[in-house]
Amino acid sequence: MNEPIIKIGVTYTGTDEKHSNYVRWLKGNEHIEITTLSPLHTDLESIKDFDGILLSGGVDMHPKFYNSTVTDYPNAPQHFHEKRDEFEIAVFQKAQQNNIPVLAVCRGMQMVNCILGGNLTQDIGPEANGIHKFENHDKGHGINIVPATLLNEITGVDRTMTNSAHHQCINNLGEGLLVNCQSDDGIVEGIEWEHKENKPFFLGIQWHPERMYKFHLNELPATKNIRDRFIKEIKISGKVTS
């Protein structure tokens, strides 16, 4: 019997080097096929054929997608990528329609929040940026995990260390979501469904588990356990074929 092939679509984060981190992290030692998803090369109708979807990090989404007209905020990008925003919004919607497990990382988590009617703090400010914003390398800080949440179940801990590379954060929470962890300064670091019955697996995290190996943190529950649980959820979703 052929070994089942797990097919995961990963949205293109913007550079090949960063994208390769997701591929390496997800594949591990398993028989997993990774496909790069992008508005130029992906037919949206093909999303239904994937077993799992990872919404990656990257440049800030355009403020119009969370009903803001302010585009000149501190640390705003020189160029937004609206085609990417529109494409990834559609990818998430297709995944939901087809009961496909979704893992959303950094920008991906913020995007899901906005798709569901939430919005963002456009820049967390100098003090918080000193803790959270990428500056030549990722930063690191602790997170406090809410008891009895999915994230708590996955990690098995109430507190752990994560890396950090963001200057925006969730402000108003999207409909149907639950905050599952926060940093010590109160920034939302993770979200999940509030009511999980009859919904596909979804976890959103503000950190970058795919590159925690660079800091020798790849065995921490905030990276290893999340990857393993995502793959497990894909396998039990019933979509994987031989």
Instruction: Tell me the pLDDT tens digit for each residue of 13-39.
Output: 999 999 999 999 999 888 899 999 999
Report the pLDDT value the prediction gives residue 240, as an integer from 0 to 100: 56
Q: Which residue out of 88, 189, 192, 210 is catalytically annotated?
A: 210
Q: Using a cut of 0.85, tell me whether the model's pTM lies above it.
A: yes
pLDDT bin (cut points 50, 70, 90) of residue 2 is low
**Residue among 19, 132, 166, 208 flagged as catalytic:** 208
Query: Is 106 considered catalytic here?
Result: yes
Residue 41 structure tokens: 């090369």
The active-site residue out of 106, 114, 169, 181 is: 106
- Residues 6-236: name the CATH superfamily: Class I glutamine amidotransferase (GATase) domain (3.40.50.880)
DSSP per-residue string spanning 105-172: ETHHHHHHHHHTT--EES---HHHHHHHS-SSS-EEEEEEEPTTSHHHHHH--SEEEEEE--S-EE-S
Q: What is the pLDDT of residues 31-65, one digit of tens each?
A: 899 999 999 999 999 999 999 999 999 999 999 99
- The domain limits of the chain are 6-236
The span from the CA of 241 to the CA of 80, in Å, is 38
Q: Is 210 a known active-site residue?
A: yes
Instruction: Give yes or no: 114 in active site.
Output: no
102-119 residue pLDDT tens = 999 999 999 999 999 999
Question: Quick one: pLDDT at residue 145?
Answer: 98
